Amino acid sequence: MKILLAGLGNVGDEYAHTRHNIGFDVVGAFVQRHGGQFRVDRLAYVAEVKWKGKQFVCVCPTTYMNLSGKAIKYWLDKEKIDTASLLVVVDDLALPLDKIRIKPGGSDAGHNGLKSIQDALGTIQYPKLRFGIGSDYPKGKQADFVLSRWKSTEEKQVADKIAHAVDAIEVIATQGLEAAMNLYNQKSFT
């Protein structure tokens, strides 16, 4: 069974390890945990990981956030993977920092990366792991906030939560989306 694991973010050092790039960080941690290695390929950094009888095609699009759908559609088609076997890892302003949400579908909720995927795939029905980044910013400063780095007081919590998100991906792959939702959607990662 093949799974396309896609982490959303922006390429470039100025975006590395910002709130908006948490998708890259989670997928990177998954690849690292399983001994994979990224290569530069068409529209994305790509790594292949085999684990527990599953083959993961892990992508971090190099198209920038707003064109993520172009890369994801390309890799789904190239690898002949159905959207039900896609998992997108994305930052979520609407969720507090101590939360993750796993869902089988749902709207883009104003997220440009998810909107791009929705437009490219023609559906909102594909699995998502939303990583809460909080919303502690002054009115009108949303863009600055999502592109900011984590506060030093948040770094340990974020590192722990990345490890839990990787665990959640493993549960999705081995036990299914519903089992992962039951295990992780109500947890608080403090």
Please report, for the chain, the start and end positions of each structural domain, with discontinuous segments joined by +. Answer: 2-184
Residue 180 burial (CB < 10 Å; 0-12/13-18/19+)? Answer: buried
Helix (H, G, I), strand (E, B) or coil at 17: coil
Look up residue 70 and give its two tokens.
């172009």
Q: pLDDT above 70 covers what percent of the chain?
A: 100
- CA distances to 32, 158, 160, 169 from 155, in Å: 19, 5, 9, 21
pLDDT of amino acid 154: 95
List residues bridging with 4 in a β-sheet. 57, 86
Helix (H, G, I), strand (E, B) or coil at 1: coil
From 20, 34, 111, 164, the catalytic residue: 20
Model confidence over 96-153: pLDDT tens digits?
999 999 999 999 999 999 999 999 999 999 999 999 999 888 888 999 999 999 999 9
- For the residues 25-45, what does the mean pLDDT come to? 98
Q: Which distant-in-sequence residues (6+ apart) come within 8 Å of 185 by Cβ?
A: 100, 101, 102
- For the residues 80-95, what does the mean pLDDT come to? 96
Q: Which residue has the higher pLDDT, 137 or 90?
A: 90
Reply yes or no on whether 164 is catalytic.
Answer: no
CATH fold of the domain at 2-184: Rossmann fold (3.40.50)
Question: How high is the mean pLDDT of the chain?
Answer: 96
Model confidence over 6-27: pLDDT tens digits?
999 999 999 999 999 999 999 9
pLDDT of amino acid 138: 87
